[in-house]
Amino acid sequence: MVEAQEWLDRFKLDGRTREAVAFSNLLEKSQVISIWGFAGVGKSVFVRRSYYLKIEETANYYKKIEEAADYYNEIQEAVNYEQKIQEATDYYWKIQEVADFDRYGWVDVSHPFDLMDFSRSLLLDLCPELRQAEENADDFCISGVKDPIKECHGFLRDQRCLVVIDGLRSTEEWDLIKDNMANGPLASSIIVVTNEAKVVLKKNPNFNVDIIDKELILKCGGLPKVINAAAGLLANKTIESDWGKIVKSMNSGFMVELETNPGVDSSIHDLFGWMHTYLFQTCPDYLRPCILYLSSIFPGYYSIRRRRLIMRWVAEGYSKDTNNHTADENGEKFFSKLVELDMVQHPPESATTVFSDTRMVLCQVNAFLHEYVISRPLEDNFTLALEVFTLNEDSCRPTTRRRGRHLVIEESWDRDKIVFDSIDFSRLRSLTVFGKWESYFVSENMRLIRVLDLEGITSGLEDDDLEKLMKLLCRLKFLSLRGCKDIHHLPRSCRHLRQLQTLDIRHTSIDMLPSAITKLPKLQYLRAGRAGSQWTPSTRDHKPHPRTTTTTSRHRSAAAGVKVPAGINQLTALHTLGVINASALCGKAILEELKELTQLRKLGVSGINRINSKKFSSAISALKYLESLSVWLSKCNRKGCLDGISCPPRKLQSLKLYYGHVDRLPVWINQLDSLRKLDLDMIMLTQEDMHLLGDLQLCILRLCLNPRVGEQLRFSVRPGDAESNQPRGLGFPNLEIRDCLQFHVITCTF
């Protein structure tokens, strides 16, 4: 009751009054309700308010019952006590009939879904008296309860319970709950909260809180002040029939509405003042173009790889070499600064896969910052020498005002060649394309382009187009074809790209690099590897595209490295290389050449086996600056294949071993004092292996275990600090467990 009251006092409902009343009415009439909407729209808060209000109402009812009982005792000695007693008794039963629920339970569904864990959590919430007994029990058993699933079913069937199931992801999960705990007539009400419309329970009432346009929500950038201001403006709109028009109008003029509407709180004006002062006055000169470049090129709801952004900064000259740091290192520092300022954020569906938030694999520009930058007057844009212009659904007529240094072609643009030909390309330095590629996108007038980013291409780009653009754009420093599956060959004309620093052909259909690749002396970043069937072109929608997601399954399946020509050792500027195929005919020679690439910081190699393992081990021992190593081992591999690495790189921070049919760790792993991220694919780990890993200062550990038939995985965890959730008995003082994948059913005992 205290928790409910404190929550209700702290959080107020703004702009949802009609919906709250409708939901409350629905709750009184229904046994099961599903409530859905996209992530972040406020479903859980919306439901929790109704949930706590019911708890508060029930507490008030019981308080009245106690008052009735006290009154009953006081009037026993009254002259007309029999009449008074009858009145008190009638009042008592009337109150009981009014009370909606006797017990309450809220469960945040964990994944992967486990019915036993779910029922245990629900039972502890329905019966707070069991919680203390459970905390003192061994083996996580609830005192006196043999079957939590059966016990929950009994409560839902026989007692008036209000249950909220938050985070259901599939109808299969609901079917498990329904068949085991909610089948037959129930005295209870169940609310299912989900992000997925497909999970909506078709046979039961459903309530959609996805009322406000998604893009409008995202434009707030996660800033509480902005969210509250936007909600306040919408709350004042009372004509329900015009709601869609109101939201559309506010979405199209988002910044104008916030800046000019007198009803907006003064704190929003303070925020605008700070942003203008920072961006145009106090922001360091080296950081300002990085901020404006990111905010202008990519919208706030588009997921972008961190490395893609930084290498673009380098190519544009926004991040340069200094006395003590390379341009790449400075770019990483700039990125970290933007994260600290909350100008760069995690995509909602993504998680960091390295040991620091500032090293996130995927990022998004803060959507509010993006809206602010693109809404500034054109004169401000040109004053900063950024000069970004965009072709989108509004670009339907020729105009002489389309000129500048950076062109973005959005997927929504209708590909009107007349409009395109009206553009002045004389000063163009970068071209970024989303959606369909057209052959006229590259012309003789674009010879000064330094950045060509085609990672957002969905169709239309073929080998002939690539041949043409490589002949025309000889000054390119950055070229990304990532995900362009219709590209099968890298033309020999790539030798003309003498200034090229970044080449990303990962997830294309290229499986062999031409010998001309060795003629690119400034190449620093080379990513390759043939695409699997799961890769589809990127779209500029609100969700991160699967091609840029960071699931472990993606890395494990994308093991097809490219064949590289002899002479790769001539690319002495390389700091990132992979994935290359070492099992090819000249694989041993290539591994020998790797020794000479002493500036390598990140390396990915596939096809390591017992035949080439010695050459590979020798190469790795020579790369003393290596920070990240990914190895795809052949399936015919045997134990000890990597034990030949006599001097493992002491600066190695990330190690990934995939497809390894091995049953023990490399003998040198305990020498990796800097290792923070470890990804293992093995048959089995022993208890000794786990303690060995526990001695490392790991922040992230991924295990993918493929045990032999009849074997089980058991972790024996010694008691640790009662106030810590970390398994101190195994070490791992900084560990954050991201994935524990199992190819077979494994019994895990903790």
Looking at residue 534, its pLDDT comes to 40
- Respond yes or no on whether the N-terminal peptide bond of residue 112 is cis (omega within 30° of 0): yes
Q: Are 488 and 470 in contact (CB under 8 A)?
A: no
Are β-strands 430-436 and 451-459 bridged in parallel, bridged antiparallel, or unpaired?
parallel
Q: Are 643 and 667 in contact (CB under 8 A)?
A: yes
Q: What residues contact residue 116 under an 8 Å CB cut-off, 6+ apart?
A: 148, 149
Q: What residues contact residue 74 under an 8 Å CB cut-off, 6+ apart?
A: none
Assigned domain for 272 exists: no
Assigned domain for 51 exists: yes
In three-state form (DSSP H/G/I as H, E/B as E, the rest C), the secondary structure along 196-254 is CHHHCCCCCCEEECCCCCHHHHHHCCCCHHHHHHHHHHHHCCCCHHHHHHHHHHHHHCH
Assigned domain for 160 exists: yes
Looking at residue 545, its pLDDT comes to 39
Which structural domain range is residue 58 located in?
Answer: 2-211
* CB-CB neighbours of 383 under 10 Å: 12
DSSP string, 243-287: HHHHHHHHHHTHHHHHHH-TTS-HHHHHHHHHHHHIIIIIS-TTT
Assigned domain for 142 exists: yes
d(C-alpha 404, C-alpha 381), whole Å: 10
Q: Tokens for 320? A: 């340069």
d(C-alpha 514, C-alpha 295), whole Å: 36
* CB-CB neighbours of 427 under 10 Å: 11
Domain count within the chain: 1
Assigned domain for 614 exists: no
Q: Is the dihedral of CA 736, 738, 742, 746 positive or negative?
A: positive
DSSP run (H or E) holding 480? strand 478-480
Looking at residue 539, its pLDDT comes to 36
Q: Tokens for 182? A: 């909610």
Q: What residues contact residue 407 under an 8 Å CB cut-off, 6+ apart?
A: 388, 389, 390, 391, 423, 425, 428, 430, 431, 432
Assigned domain for 716 exists: no
Residue 96: which CATH number? 3.40.50.300
d(C-alpha 267, C-alpha 258), whole Å: 11
Assigned domain for 99 exists: yes
Local mean pLDDT, 10-residue blocks, the chain (750 residues): 75 69 78 75 82 82 66 60 63 58 89 90 86 56 75 90 90 88 84 76 59 70 80 66 67 84 81 85 90 86 92 96 94 93 79 55 89 77 67 70 83 92 91 95 93 95 95 96 95 95 96 96 94 40 38 48 94 95 86 95 92 92 95 73 88 86 81 91 79 86 71 50 44 54 37
Assigned domain for 43 exists: yes
Looking at residue 468, its pLDDT comes to 93
